[in-house]
Amino acid sequence: MIANDADSMFTLLDEHIAKRNDYLLAKKAAIEKLTQSVASAETNDNEVLLYFLYSELATEYDAYNYDSALVYAKKRIKLAYKLKDKTKIAFANSETANTLIRRGHYKEAIDSLLSIKSSDLPPDKRIKHYGFLARAYYELADYNRDRYFSPGYRKVAESYIDSIKIQSNENSFQLLWFEGLKFLARYDLNKAVVYYERILEDIKINLRQKAGVHSALGYIYREFKQPEKAKYHTINSAICDLMLSTKESMALTSLAEQLYYEGDIKRAYKYILIAKEDADFYGAKLRQLTISVLLPQIEAAQLNLLEKKRRLMFQSILVIGLIALIITTLAFISFLQLKRLRRARKVILHTNSELTDLTDKLREANKIKTEYIGYYFNFSTQYIDKLEGLTKVINSFLLNRNLDGIERAVKNINPKQEREKLFKNFDEYFLHIFPEFVVKFNQLLEPDAQIETTDNKQLTNDLRIFALIRLGVKDNENIAKILGFSVNTVYTYKTKIKKKAIIPSNEFEEKIMEIKAV
C-alpha cells in the first residue's frame, strides 16, 4: 500500500466514521422491527416463533450491546427449556456463552459450555460450539498472561480446534479461521498468514467474518514490520465494524496504536476516542483495559503537539513584534489557545481519574476470578477423587454381588453434608478475598440488627446471599440455585435485611458492591 493508497484508505475510513449514525439508525431499525415481531408473537402465544425471534435479537445485539444481548439470550434459554427441546436448549446455552466471552466472563462461559452435550447440537452448531470453547480458553490465557496456567489453557483450546478439524470441510471458513488462530496463538505467524490470506482469496465470507480476518492480518503484518499492509487490513476491519455498528472490536484501537508509534498523533487521538466510546458502550472489559493503557500516552502526545504549536505561534509573535496590531492579534490567539489547553488538561485529568478507577476495578475483578478459578479446580478435584473412590467400592461390591454393601455405600452419600462443605469452602475463600466483609456489612445495619457469626470463617445465610451479590451474582433465581433455596426464600432474606438497614433499601446493594477486596 503506497502513500497515495494510504491516504485514500484513511479518507474511506473517515467517510464511514461520518456515517456511524446512519449505520446505528439502521441497526436500531432492524432491532425495532424484531421487537415488534416479538410483541406480536407473545400476543399470539407462538412459542416456536418466539424462540427464533429471541435468537435473532440476541444476534443483533451481539457485539453491539452486551446487556440487551444477555436479556434476549436468557429469554431464549428459558423458552428452550419450556419447549423441552434439547437441541434448542444446547444451542441457546452455547450462544449465550459466546456473549459472556465477549464481555470477559470467561469462567462463567466455560462452565456453561462444558455443561452442554455436543451430541445435542447439529453438526454446524457443534462446530460453532467447539469454536466458542477454543476462543474462551485462548482469551482466558491472554487475559491471565500467566506462565503456569496460560500454556494449559492454550493446549485445551487447541484440542477443541482438533475437534473442529475432524468435523469440518477442509475448505470451510471455520476450519481455516481456527487453524490460523492456532498458529497465531503459537506466534507462528508465517503459517497463520497463509490461512487468513487463503480465506480472503478463496472463500465468500460475510462482513463480520471479514472484519475478523482483516484484523488478524493487520496484527500479523504489523509484526512482520510491514506497516502499510498492516494499516490496509486494520482499516478494512474497522470499516466492517462501523458498517455493522460493532461496539466490541479492536480494529480502531490497533490502528490508533500503530499511528501513535508512527507519529501520526492527530489521527491516533481521533480513532482512540471513538474506540473508547464503543468499548464503554458495550462494556468489554479486556478492550477497556487495553484502551486505558494506550489512551493516556496518546493524549500526552496530543498535548505535546498542541504545546509545540503554541510555542511556534509565540515565536512568530516575536518575529513580527514591530507590528503592534499583529502582536495584539497573535497574543489574543495565544491566550485562547492557553485557555483551550487548560480545558483539555482538565478533561484529561478527569479521564485519567476515571481510567484509574476502572483499572482498580479490573484488578479487583481479576483477583476475584483468579482466586475462584483456583477454588473451583481444587474443589472439583476433591469431588472427583471422592466419586472415583465410591465408584471403585461399588464396582467391588458388584463383582462380589454384595447388594448390602452397595446399599451401605449409597446411604453414605450425604448431599446435605456435601452442600455444607461447599458452603464452608466458599465462605473461607470469600472471606480470604473480602476479610472485612462482615464488619462493613454490619456497619450498614441498625445497632440492634447486627449479624454475629459463630465462626470467623463461616457466613450466615443472610451474609452468603449478599456475598454472592458482591461477586456479581445478582439474579434471585441464580442465587437460589447456588444456595439450594427457593426464589421466594432469597427474596425474603434480602427484604428482611434491607428493612434493618440505616440507608435506603434501593442503595443497599450499591453499598455492598463498594466493599473492597484485599
Helix (H) or strand (E) holding 35: helix 20-43
Q: Can you give the pLDDT at residue 121? A: 94
> What's the grid cell of residue 124?
454446524
**Overall size of the chain counted in residues:** 518
Helix (H) or strand (E) holding 321: none
Q: Can you give the pLDDT at residue 366? A: 57
Residues 83 and 47 sit within 8 Å (Cβ to Cβ) = yes
CA nearest 113: which of 101, 103, 124? 101
Q: What is the DSSP track for 354-382?
A: HHHHHHHHHHHHHHHHHHHHHHHHHHHHH
> How large is the C-alpha radius of gyration of the chain?
28
- How far is residue 131's CA from residue 148's CA, in Å, rounded to a whole number? 24
CA nearest 35: which of 15, 60, 9? 60
**Partners of residue 445 on adjacent β-strands:** 501
One-letter identity of residue 209: Q
Low-confidence ranges of the chain (pLDDT < 50): 1-4, 377
Q: How many CA atoms lie within 13 A of 386 on its CB side?
A: 13
450-508 residue pLDDT tens: 988 876 678 988 889 999 999 888 898 999 888 888 999 999 999 999 999 999 988 99
Q: How far is CA 384 from the centre of its chain?
A: 30
Q: Can you give the pLDDT at residue 370? A: 52
- What's the Cα-to-Cα distance from 387 to each of 413, 414, 425, rounded to whole Å? 10, 13, 18
Phi and psi (nearest 5°) for 284? Answer: -80, 110
- How far is residue 382's CA from residue 482's CA, in Å, rounded to a whole number? 19
**In which residue are the cell numbers 466490541 written?**
248
Is 445 in a helix, a strand, or coil? strand
> What's the grid cell of residue 455?
465462626
